Chains A and B, each alone.
Chain A
Amino acid sequence: MSERFSLEVTDLVKHFSVGGGLLRRPRMVRAVDGVSFAIGRGETLGLVGESGCGKSTVSRVVLKLLEPTSGRILLGGVDVTPFRPGAMWPHRRRIQIVFQDPYSSLNPRLSAGAIVGEPLENFGIAAGKEKDERVARLFERVGLHAEDTRKYPHEFSGGQRQRLGIAKALSVNPDVIVADEPVSALDVSVRAQVLNLLIDLQDEYRLSYLFISHDLAVMRHVSHRIAVMYLGRIVEFTDKRTLFSQPLHPYTEALLSAAPVPDPAKKKSRRVVLQGEVPSALQPPSGCHFHPRCPYALPACRSTDPPLIEVAPGHHVACLRRPPGGDPAPLTPSQ
């Protein structure tokens, strides 16, 4: 593939209509409200945010498991946005997904080998004996025993099931893998195994990852660049190092503060404990979506919707108090 980016998304929007009936007009949920990013080969883009921020919806839309309301999706340079399921089908080889829940993401009635080998059948890549061999090799690549292809999902542990999911995603040699909270449901001691596996595979096959998680610590280990999402929008977007050392958006700062650190010596006096609840996507606040909870909000924040702009090389922020070339020092709370 000669394209610069394996996955490029521009102004992606996904709205859901909710609660319509015979006599009632449905309401609109702006789950994803204008998201843009691009991932190169061998690169991991982390999408981080809390519940309701739209990150999972982004993953489904990018895979065309949901149709976008508007925007553009370029998969290996090909604009797949208008494709109906029939036209999309051959392009599914390029982008695969690993799910969060190892228990419900594998069909309990199929053998592990059948599950992993199904994409090979679907795309006519291999059949019969050759397929079985490929599946066996995939098993070994992800750290499972080749003899276990006959076993059923319930005979595997949570971590092993995630490996199965990864093997399946890998089977068609995709360019992009969307990993939707791949380790959140796993035990701590197993997370490390799966994360290391993902990193190794990326280095070996030059895979692009869209890595979705609410866990900043995991993000830090796996991502190259990170986009922070809040209520359907990206509020900060930069490389990993800068995000953790010099976060500019107040929400990013709050997220970093909130994550409990496994070191009692660094027990905080947290800088920021965010008040209030995550607002509902049905009724997003006016202006900057974050302003009701923002300790630094100005009156202008209530009325003006800050665009995502590049305030420093490679560092994008959507905040009125963070103009281009501004002082990156922490903000002071407004009165």
Chain B
Amino acid sequence: MNNVLEIRDLATHFFTRDGVVRAVDGVSFDLASGETLGIVGESGCGKSVTALSILRLISPETGRIVSGSIRFDGRELTTLSDEEMRSIRGHQISMIFQEPMTSLNPVLTVGTQIAENIVRHRNLSWSAALDRAHEMLDLVKISDSRRRLDEYPHQLSGGMRQRVMIAIALSCNPRVLIADEPTTALDVTIQAQILGLMLELKEKLGTAIIMITHDLGVIAETTQRVVVMYAGHKVEEAPVEELFARAMHPYTRGLLRAIPRTDADAELAGRRRRLQEIPGIVPALTRPITGCPFAPRCAFVAARCRAERPPLEEPEAGHTVACWEMRRVLEAAA
């Protein structure tokens, strides 16, 4: 299977008044053509920064990619010029964000914004671009699409704005779509619509998707493979069924046990069952972390964990974990 994206040892640091923030500190993964990859983690784990790094959208006043390689279809992105990067963004790799209201230009009509992207990357006249914009609105299932072309973002609901974002992102048929928490700000019934739409479009257009979220439910429903990030590092990667059935990293296991479920039996003998907690908080990223970043909160922590960072190993095909105490974790689960 050919990889449309190959990321190796990506490190992106931010230079702030309080020191260097190592937002992403050595992350590697691949994205196969037409695949949906999930990146899951909590706030501060570096998942959004990873996405922004791929598209080189890190603001140079605040931070930069300090090392690593990002290959798109074999082409190295970190060394491209600004001009070359611009021709890739919105064209071959697109991105949609969490807050559609602030990602859309409030003073341009919806049709203009979609057409703009098309004209920038394809040699089409404005009227041809507008026609294509109309097609895109139909593709994302916005009703009354002809009228919507002339409407402004504030006239649309949150769900519709997100559909417009998707329309813009897919207007030039990109190979990769990066979705950064695309449904977090939406109501749950609208979220279901949008996620369903994204999967449908993926089938139709063959786009590979990187789905970034903190919501394990969204991961379970939409992705094929998952990368789990913690404090700027990748701690586990596996096919989605494998991850939920046999997670190996203590953090992943902790997350899975900590989430309340609508389907699970939440009661034991009539009393409410307590959720499994992960004690402590995420570490500050301003100081270099010695050893495993999860060590301070880990139930399986050993001396080695605090001293040396565990490397990524592949105990089972397609399933990588970075944990010294892997064996003990598996035994405890059995």
In the bound complex, do residue B258 and residue A188 qualify as a contact, i.e. CB atoms below 8 Å apart? yes
In the bound complex, do residue A255 and residue B188 qualify as a contact, i.e. CB atoms below 8 Å apart? yes
In the bound complex, do residue B266 and residue A221 qualify as a contact, i.e. CB atoms below 8 Å apart? yes
B216: CB under 8 A from chain A?
yes
Q: Across the interface, name the chain B residue whose C-beta is closest to A293.
A: B189
What is the CB-to-nearest-CB distance from A253 to chain B, in angstroms, rounded to a whole number?
A: 11
Complexed CA–CA distance, A259 and B245 (Å):
20
In the bound complex, do residue B220 and residue A50 qualify as a contact, i.e. CB atoms below 8 Å apart? no
With A221-B272, A222-B272, A255-B189 known as contacts, the answer to whether A260 contacts B214 (CB < 8 A) is: no
Which residues from chain B contact A192 at a C-beta distance below 8 Å?
A: 258-260, 275-278
B176-213 interface code vs A (CB 8 A; 1 in, 0 out): 00000000000111111101100000000000000000
In the bound complex, do residue A199 and residue B272 qualify as a contact, i.e. CB atoms below 8 Å apart? yes
A298-318 interface code vs B (CB 8 A; 1 in, 0 out): 000000000000000000000
Which residues from chain A contact B332 at a C-beta distance below 8 Å?
A: none
In the bound complex, do residue A261 and residue B263 qualify as a contact, i.e. CB atoms below 8 Å apart? yes
- Which of A199, A260, A264, A268 sits near B240, CB closer than 8 Å? A264
With A261-B221, A265-B244, A277-B160 known as contacts, the answer to whether A189 contacts B254 (CB < 8 A) is: yes
B272-315 interface code vs A (CB 8 A; 1 in, 0 out): 11111111011000000000000000000000000000000000
A206: CB under 8 A from chain B?
no
A244: CB under 8 A from chain B?
yes
With A214-B187, A273-B192, A274-B192 known as contacts, the answer to whether A262 contacts B256 (CB < 8 A) is: yes
With A187-B43, A258-B189, A264-B221 known as contacts, the answer to whether A217 contacts B214 (CB < 8 A) is: no
- Which of A50, A158, A220, A222 sits near B189, CB closer than 8 Å? A50
Q: Chain A's interface: helix, strand, loop or mixed, by majority? A: helix
In the bound complex, do residue B255 and residue A188 qualify as a contact, i.e. CB atoms below 8 Å apart? yes
B81: CB under 8 A from chain A?
no
Which residues from chain B contact A273 at a C-beta distance below 8 Å?
A: 189, 192-193, 196
A184-228 interface code vs B (CB 8 A; 1 in, 0 out): 000111111101100100000000000000111110111000000
In the bound complex, do residue B260 and residue A217 qualify as a contact, i.e. CB atoms below 8 Å apart? yes
With A159-B281, A261-B263, A274-B189 known as contacts, the answer to whether A189 contacts B255 (CB < 8 A) is: yes
Complexed CA–CA distance, A188 and B274 (Å):
15
In the bound complex, do residue B157 and residue A260 qualify as a contact, i.e. CB atoms below 8 Å apart? no
B17: CB under 8 A from chain A?
no
Which residues from chain B contact A267 at a C-beta distance below 8 Å?
A: 220-221
- Which of B42, B220, B260, B274 sits near A260, CB closer than 8 Å? B220
Which residues from chain A contact B84 at a C-beta distance below 8 Å?
A: none
With A188-B214, A241-B267, A255-B188 known as contacts, the answer to whether A262 contacts B259 (CB < 8 A) is: yes
A17: CB under 8 A from chain B?
no
Q: Across the interface, name the chain B residue whose C-beta is closest to A44.
A: B272
Q: Across the interface, name the chain B residue whose C-beta is closest to A220.
A: B266
Which residues from chain A contact B273 at a C-beta distance below 8 Å?
A: 221
Which residues from chain B contact A147 at a C-beta distance below 8 Å?
A: none
Complexed CA–CA distance, A217 and B260 (Å):
5
Complexed CA–CA distance, A41 and B8 (Å):
57
- Which of A189, A195, A265, A274 sits near B193, CB closer than 8 Å? A274
Number of interface residues of A (CB under 8 A): 48
Q: How many A-B contacts at CB < 8 Å in the complex?
A: 144
In the bound complex, do residue A261 and residue B220 qualify as a contact, i.e. CB atoms below 8 Å apart? yes
In the bound complex, do residue A199 and residue B274 qualify as a contact, i.e. CB atoms below 8 Å apart? yes
Q: Across the interface, name the chain B residue whose C-beta is closest to A158.
A: B43
A126: CB under 8 A from chain B?
no
- Which of B160, B241, B262, B276 sits near A220, CB closer than 8 Å? B262
A215-248 interface code vs B (CB 8 A; 1 in, 0 out): 1111011100000000000000000110010000
Complexed CA–CA distance, A80 and B188 (Å):
35
B232: CB under 8 A from chain A?
no
B147: CB under 8 A from chain A?
no
A286: CB under 8 A from chain B?
no
- Which of A187, A257, A274 sits near B214, CB closer than 8 Å? A187
Which residues from chain B contact A214 at a C-beta distance below 8 Å?
A: 187-188
- Which of A157, A196, A255, A261 sits near B275, CB closer than 8 Å? A196
Which residues from chain A contact B245 at a C-beta distance below 8 Å?
A: 265
In the bound complex, do residue B221 and residue A260 qualify as a contact, i.e. CB atoms below 8 Å apart? yes
- Which of B188, B193, B221, B277 sits near A50, CB closer than 8 Å? B188
What is the CB-to-nearest-CB distance from B237 to chain A, in angstroms, rounded to a whole number?
A: 15
B129: CB under 8 A from chain A?
no
A256: CB under 8 A from chain B?
yes
In the bound complex, do residue A278 and residue B192 qualify as a contact, i.e. CB atoms below 8 Å apart? no
B60: CB under 8 A from chain A?
no
In the bound complex, do residue A189 and residue B219 qualify as a contact, i.e. CB atoms below 8 Å apart? no
In the bound complex, do residue A263 and residue B262 qualify as a contact, i.e. CB atoms below 8 Å apart? no
In the bound complex, do residue B188 and residue A189 qualify as a contact, i.e. CB atoms below 8 Å apart? no
Which residues from chain B contact A189 at a C-beta distance below 8 Å?
A: 42, 254-255, 258, 277-278
With A189-B255, A193-B277 known as contacts, the answer to whether A259 contacts B217 (CB < 8 A) is: yes
What is the CB-to-nearest-CB distance from A66 to chain B, in angstroms, rounded to a whole number?
A: 23
6 A-B pairs within 8 Å (CB atoms) are namely: A199-B274, A240-B266, A261-B261, A273-B193, A274-B192, A274-B193
Which 6 pairs from chain A and chain B are nearest by CB?
A260-B217, A258-B192, A192-B275, A50-B187, A192-B258, A187-B42
For the A-B complex with A193-B277, A199-B274, A264-B241 known, give 12 more contacts whose Cβ atoms are closer than 8 Å.
A50-B190, A187-B42, A189-B277, A189-B278, A191-B259, A191-B260, A192-B275, A221-B272, A241-B267, A258-B189, A263-B261, A264-B240
